[in-house]
Amino acid sequence: MTRILAAKPVVEKDTQGLKEKVSGLKKSGISPRLEVILVGDHPPSLLYTKNKKKFCQTLGIECEIIHLDGDTNEQTLLSTIERGNEGPHVHGQFIQLPLPPHLHRVPIKDLILPEKDVDGLHLQNVGRLCQGEDESRLLTPCTPKGILRLLHYYEIPLSGKDVTIIGRSPLVGTPLSLMMTNHNATVTLCHSKTVNLQKFTRISDIIVSAVGRPHFIDKSFIGSNRPTVIDVGINTIEGRLCGDVSFHEIKGLCSAITPVPGGVGPMTVLSLAQNVVAAAQSCGRRSRGS
Ligand code: NAP
């Protein structure tokens, strides 16, 4: 039997706890607030930011999307970030990626204060992750955090397991490799220059694909040990959403598999809300001096 690792029951379970935390914060005078900086009109970014705002609002988190024109210059972007950093009522902010090409030089990873960096990309937060610091004390990148939560909910252990991650981006693959290593998995991090990916995936207990190519993972990637397959990819074919995995082809060969849609995507949004609440709680502790 193959288990489908749907996000819905996890999101439902965690939402209740988050609502209670938000309500507790509000009673203590802190209204959790997120600011999202969106530059331009990249259609997937418009959709992602809208979904994130909607989910935050269902929890009682204030969320403002600061929508800047596609030709916004570097100075305007920097001053927008600075306003968020200085705003005493802003607990988290992030920049929806990708930025337009003329802003690619902007060193965004260093600009948002680490304590407001709800995307977990600031070098200080990544550095602490590299040091193996307890994740519960950190703001960690949302997609890896969501994947770990999904595995935990479905009681799929990491300790002692062999994991292959395909894709080494700073947003997904690289931090996920650190987090899974911190959970005592043995991780192989693959990328476009890896020779013979199947050599690694076919002996893995868990395979994660974060490549961004439909049907990238087919049955040639799956060994006889019925692995767990986590599909991070978000692609479209003829207007329909799909992941990196040929779901129907490999489903029967796996012990567990995430669907697209309804798998890693909603877990990423959940993690963002958890990071905003954690940032607001830390802000409250700092202002009480504890
Ligand atoms: P990215 O920055 O483009 O990284 C893609 C990675 O895939 C790179 O490391 C690249 O290797 C590797 N790659 C490309 N072609 C490959 C090949 N033929 N063989 C092996 N590796 C290959 O993308 P990303 O931001 O990590 O996102 C990856 C996918 O996940 C996209 O579809 C994105 O939309 C999706 N995503 C989903 C969520 C979610 O919440 N579900 C969140 C974030 C991203 P090199 O490093 O060598 O170039």
pLDDT digit string, tens, across residues 48-63? 999 999 999 999 999 9
pLDDT band at 283 (very low <50, low <70, confident <90, very high): confident
Tell me, what DSSP letter sits at residue 253?
G
User: What local confidence, expressed as pLDDT, does residue 290 receive?
Assistant: 61
Q: Give the residue, by CA position, lying nearest to ligand 1 atom 22.
A: 192
Average pLDDT over every residue of 125-132: 95
Mutate to test the pocket of ligand 1, among 201, 217, 229, 234 (most ligand atoms within 8 A of CB): 234
Average pLDDT over every residue of 36-47: 95
CA–CA separation, 4 vs 167, rounded Å? 22
Reported as a single tens digit per residue, the pLDDT across 7-34 is 999 999 999 999 999 999 999 999 999 9
Q: What is the dihedral of CA 196, 197, 198, 203, to 10 degrees?
A: 120
Q: How many Å lie between the centroid of ligand 1 and the Cα of residue 192? A: 9
CA–CA separation, 235 vs 210, rounded Å? 11
Reported as a single tens digit per residue, the pLDDT across 69-97 is 999 999 999 999 999 999 999 999 999 99
Q: How many Å lie between the centroid of ligand 1 and the Cα of residue 227? A: 21
**From 21, 53, 93, 96, the catalytic residue:** 96
Pocket of ligand 1 (CB under 6 A): 143, 166-169, 171-173, 190-194, 197, 210-212, 232-235, 264-265, 268
Q: How many other C-beta atoms lie within 10 A of the C-beta of residue 180?
A: 23
pLDDT band at 284 (very low <50, low <70, confident <90, very high): confident
Report which of residues 284 and 76 the model is more confident about: 76
User: What local confidence, expressed as pLDDT, does residue 288 receive?
Assistant: 76
User: What local confidence, expressed as pLDDT, does residue 287 receive?
Assistant: 77
| pTM for this entry | 0.97
Mutate to test the pocket of ligand 1, among 193, 211, 230, 275 (most ligand atoms within 8 A of CB): 211
Q: Give the residue, by CA position, lying nearest to ligand 1 atom 12.
A: 167
Are 67 and 45 contacting, i.e. CB atoms less than 8 angstroms apart?
no
Q: How many Å lie between the centroid of ligand 1 and the Cα of residue 182? A: 22
SS (H, E, C) 49-114: HHHHHHHHHHHCCEEEEEEECCCCCHHHHHHHHHHHHHCCCCCEEEECCCCCHHHCCCCHHHCCCH
Is a pLDDT exceeding 80 seen at residue 282? yes
3-state DSSP call for residue 275? helix
Q: Which helix (H) or strand (E) holds 247?
A: helix 247-250
Token pair listed for 119: 């995307």
Q: How many other C-beta atoms lie within 10 A of the C-beta of residue 282?
A: 15
Per-chain mean pLDDT for the chain: 96
Average pLDDT over every residue of 168-193: 97
Reported as a single tens digit per residue, the pLDDT across 139-164 is 999 999 999 999 999 999 999 999 99
